[in-house]
Structure 1
Amino acid sequence: MNIFQAQPQDVDKILPLYLGYRNFYQVEAQPAQAREFILKRLELNESVIFSRKLTASPPASRSSIRCSAH
């Protein structure tokens, strides 16, 4: 398992998890707006997102996120 701090270029890896979070709380997905929201938070250093990449064999494509504001 590798844990890394997400950067703006990682937004497309994080987006599906964020959309799942919104779905869980029964909030409309709005993928384009959600992507822009995450991207802005990362670019402006308003949020720190850690992602976990599983390193099982064969390589897993799952990750998880935890968002926290400074």
Structure 2
Amino acid sequence: MEILQATMNELEELTVLFDEYRQFYGIESDVSSAKAFLQLRMALKESIIFVVVENGNTIGFAQLYPTFSSIALQRAYILNDIYVKEDARGLGVGKALMEKVFQYCEQQYARYVTLQTATDNVHARKLYENLNMKQDQYCNYVKYFS
């Protein structure tokens, strides 16, 4: 298993996984829009994407968005997306991706990395807790626009 920072060279395989990830959350498949979204994020350097490659196949990815902590006066990251192909789950891929994310954030002198997951996503929550992530004390509010 190898974890790489994605470049345009990985875009095709990454797009397939990204589309599967979106379907996992109930969104209808739209490969062309998924590809355009990823391509733009990468071209504008608006996200950092790590891919897991095993035996020439891309089996997982994580996407980080940079932000800042005004209180700490430091960079921070939002781990917005993490996905492992169904047949690769339970093999340590998610843990390896998370450790790569932590390593990257530390190298960038980030104050923190944050993520959200569904309350019923018990497998992911267990992974995050086993990696010493903690639920914060903040109450998040969201206003959706279209």
Q: Same fold (TM over 0.5)?
A: yes
Structure 2 residue runs of 5 or longer lacking an equivalent are 67-146
Residue 64 of structure 1 corresponds to 60
Indicate the SS of the match to 1:11: helix
Structure 1 residue runs of 5 or longer lacking an equivalent are none
- When normalised by structure 1's length, the TM-score is 0.84
Indicate the SS of the match to 1:64: strand
Residue 15 of structure 1 corresponds to 15
Greater Cα radius of gyration, structure 1 or 2: 2
Query: Percent of aligned positions with the same letter in both sequences?
Result: 27
Residue 35 of structure 2 corresponds to 35
Structure possessing the higher relative contact order (Cα contacts under 8 Å, 6 or more residues apart): 1
CA drift at 1:60: 5.2
CA drift at 1:65: 0.2
Answer yes or no: is 1:48 the counterpart of 2:48.
Answer: yes
The 8 Å contact of residues 51 and 58 in structure 2, kept in 1 or not, is answered as: no
Instruction: Tell me the number of residue pairs that the alignment of Structure 1 and Structure 2 aligns.
Output: 66
Q: Say what the alpha-carbon RMSD is for the aligned residues.
A: 1.3
Query: Which runs of structure 1 show a deviation greater than 4 angstroms over 4 or more consecutive aligned residues?
Result: none
